[in-house]
Structure 1
Amino acid sequence: MTQALTRKRPGLERVLKTADRLFYEEGIHATGVDRIAAEAHVSKATLYTYFRTKDDLVTDYLHRRSRSWREYVAGELPEHGASPEERLLAIFDLLGEWFLSPSYRGCPFINSEAECAPGPSSEAHLANLEHRSWVHTLFGGLLKEAGVAEPEAIARQLMLLYDGSMSGAQADPSVDWAAAAREAAESILRNHQTSH
């Protein structure tokens, strides 16, 4: 949904914000469309004029979460280091800042996969895959820029750290998972660079 469209339709913007908050804080299954409509102050019929099904609303939620994180990372990384290695490691610093937020409830994409177990052709699953592809491309691009050999394979290793730190921070926030992931990423980079 474009910003211009939501500005012309304030009810739609309220639905999107309400769904985003409730899906993330309380879960997709736990949040029914009746509650979203009530808290957004629109009728259920109006909600269904914006989204044909709840699945469509979930897919839009995932796309919006992805777009927001991409824009945030794109804006922040240049401020965190001149070299591609510094920017790559800064991704874990950005995760660490997010983990400290009292509203942190884990990765919305991992959560939706675990909660909904969408089929391989569902729009929500495809939105999750699209986001994961972006994460892989982000790591891969920085690794290529750093002159690291086998950037695709190393990017997958970094994605394991990325995903693991988010899951760890959700399950046990007493541990600094982002710092641990950053340290492991640094070790991977160091070992890879010394061996090539």
Structure 2
Amino acid sequence: MPRTSVDTRDRIVKAANALFYRFGIRAVSVDAIAHKAGVTKKSLYYHFKSKDDLVAAYLVSRDQPNLIQFRRWFEEADGTASDRIGSIFRNIAMAAGSRKWKGCGFLRTASELIDTPGHPAVKAASNHKRKLEQWLTDAIREHGVEEAPRIARQVVLLLDGAFSAMLVHYDTAYIECAGEAAATLVQSATKSV
């Protein structure tokens, strides 16, 4: 069966995803991505006008799967909003125990591009974090949390801070501790029934 342009583009993004997440965006060359994807550099540039566009596509490809995963962890947990928020942090702790875990790809990429705030990948990272915060706002509001936008923002700050601390210390106790703080925060803002 002949390959389509969409298949080729998807293979390039998958290759970029694997390499960028593992090694970082500055450490990975376009040649390495083309090789991993099994395409020529010319073919890669047919689909992406620059490495910057490919880096943005890498983050966009991670956006929905990550949001779906957070939503699934929240919805599959039993109990209150506080219990469900705690479940997100516990599941991250389990994922972070794997040698393949390299932290939050959005934060790592944005930190590599700190000197280029208008970069398309920085915008993609910002968009993802905004969507995560909005989803959290809606999810906890449905479970009776007062001031849901403020609480959701605080939970995102705890998540991102724990991601950073885990990368520095290689210790999942930081996400577990942040999860306890997030659960307490959500519990204290939940309306009594």
Matched, 1:69 2:66: yes
The answer to whether the 8 Å contact 1:98/1:104 transfers is yes
Aligned pairs for 1:73-92 (under 5 A) are 73-92=70-89
- Specify the alignment match of 1:3 in structure 2: none
- State the TM-score, normalized to the length of structure 2: 0.88
Aligned pairs for 1:103-182 (under 5 A) are 103-117=100-114, 119-182=116-179
Where has structure 1 moved over 6 Å in runs of 4 or more?
none
Counting matched residue pairs gives: 190
Residue 164 of structure 1 deviates from its aligned partner by: 1.1
The answer to whether the 8 Å contact 1:7/1:13 transfers is no
Give the Cα–Cα distance (whole angstroms) in 1 for the partners of residues 26 and 187 of structure 2.
Answer: 43
The 1:118–1:108 alpha-carbon spacing in structure 2 relative to 1, beyond 3 Å, is farther
The answer to whether the 8 Å contact 2:93/2:172 transfers is no
Give the Cα–Cα distance (whole angstroms) in 1 for the partners of residues 82 and 180 of structure 2.
Answer: 13
The answer to whether the 8 Å contact 1:136/1:155 transfers is yes
Residue 11 of structure 1 deviates from its aligned partner by: 3.2
Matched, 1:186 2:183: yes
* Unmatched tracts of structure 1, length 5 or more: 1-5
The structure 1 residue matched to 2:53, chosen from 56, 65, 74, is 56
Residue 166 of structure 1 deviates from its aligned partner by: 1.0
Residue 7 of structure 1 deviates from its aligned partner by: 6.4
Deviation per CA, 1:31-51: give whole Å up to 9, x if none: 110111122221100000111
- The letter for the 2-side match of 1:173 is Y
What root-mean-square deviation, in Å, do the aligned CA atoms of Structure 1 and Structure 2 show?
2.2
Deviation per CA, 1:19-77: give whole Å up to 9, x if none: 11110110100111011112222110000011111111111100111111112223333
* Unmatched tracts of structure 2, length 5 or more: none
- The letter for the 1-side match of 2:42 is A
| 25-34 vs 176-185, greater mean Cα deviation | 176-185
